[in-house]
Chains A and B, each alone.
Chain A
Amino acid sequence: MNGAVRQLIVYIAGGLGLVAITLFIGWWQVDGPGRAIDPYSVASQSLPLPFYEMNFQLTDHSGRTHPKDWIGRPTLVFFGFTYCPDVCPTTLSNISGWLEELGDKTSPIQAVFITVDPERDTVQVMADYVSNFHTAITGYSGSAGQTLKAAESFRVTYKRVTVDESYTMNHSASVFVYNANGEFVTTIDQHEPPGVAVQKIRRVL
């Protein structure tokens, strides 16, 4: 009798203990210090692909390019268009500044500028435009379909916006940093201090 009561108490205590432990683990993982910051749960579909998983063709002044051609050198990628008076020249100017600051180490780095406005930005227009910036920057243009595929590969969007009789483009403002294996490493966002940007690029050198 005494033993049975004791056994019951042990079972109840054990059960309550299990519940408490389960609740504690739940709290720890969801709200507590064990809260997971898992980029993949949110962003797995939004991470830019590695170059070797991309499949599209763009053209620069020297001919057709497949993203696989960019493998082998650390690479910065940026989307924009030449009718852009503010953000695009500013970003290209920033990239030029970072490359200059990295000095001799920049020789392996290439910067890829892809137009989201191939209708107006032909291969020649892009080549002329980037000639105003650091020599490591190359301009790329493609068909409407290939441009869309390129944007999708980097998980970015762009949108044509009509302004009076003309139009402008809303587009991703991030610079994508890839290592020499063609794998995405990080992004540099607009308004990031030059020191931070240069530090990020050093990670792929």
Chain B
Amino acid sequence: MFRTNQTALFVFIAIIAVLLTPAADVYASDLVVEKPWARASIGVSRPTAVYLTIRNGGAVTDVLTMVTTPAAGMAEVHKSEVKDGLARMSPAGNVEVSAGTTAILEPGGLHIMLMELKNPLKKGETISMTLHFENAGPVDVAVPVYGIAASGPKFSD
């Protein structure tokens, strides 16, 4: 009887401990990276782009601060925009994803630019990439490579 109570107490404490686990784990599971894809490259001297969406289902804003990939020497979030009739592209810095919102990286807007490619990105391949978030920490993403003329994944929804 005494033992059973002790076990019950232990289980109870364990449950409380799990519930009180540092919030980072929770944030990680609340951040969902979806629909990733990369544009095939022409050789290694030309840069190419990766697109995806980041859905923040949590209660706290998270920030994408850095992108790393073994496929490229440099990966950076850029923004394409038309200003005074000119299309231009510049580093976008950190990407804030407020609670309950989705950051969309899509052609003609935000993209992760891959520079100094190690190998040409060929259609059909998959590259690995790590998105580094302020709260969620590193999130690994497998990015399929589509053709140069692709405009995005074909969705069923």
Residues of B within 8 A of A (CB): 39, 42, 46-49, 78, 80, 82, 85-89, 107-108, 111, 113-114, 147-151
Contact = CB atoms under 8 A, between A and B. Distances in A.
A137 to B, nearest CB: 10
Contacts of B107: 86, 89-90, 93
B46 A168 contact: no
Interface residues of A, number: 31
B127 to A, nearest CB: 15
A80 to B, nearest CB: 8
Given A171-B86, A171-B87, A86 B108 contact: yes
Contacts of A168: 89
B147 to A, nearest CB: 7
A132 B149 contact: yes
Contact of B39 (A85, A129, A174): A85
Contact of B148 (A132, A171, A172, A189): A132
A158 interface: yes
A115 interface: no
Q: Is the interface of B mostly helix, strand, loop or mixed?
A: strand
A87 B89 contact: yes
Contacts of B47: 83, 85
A85 B76 CA distance: 12
A84 to B, nearest CB: 8
A202 interface: no
A125 to B, nearest CB: 8
B86 A86 contact: no
A173 interface: yes
A133 B42 contact: no
A87 B86 contact: no
B148 A190 contact: no
Nearest to B39: A89
Contact of A89 (B86, B88, B114, B149): B149
13 contacts: A82-B42, A85-B49, A85-B111, A85-B113, A86-B89, A86-B107, A86-B108, A89-B107, A93-B107, A97-B151, A171-B86, A171-B87, A173-B85
A28 B80 CA distance: 42
Nearest to B40: A132
Contacts of A82: 42, 46
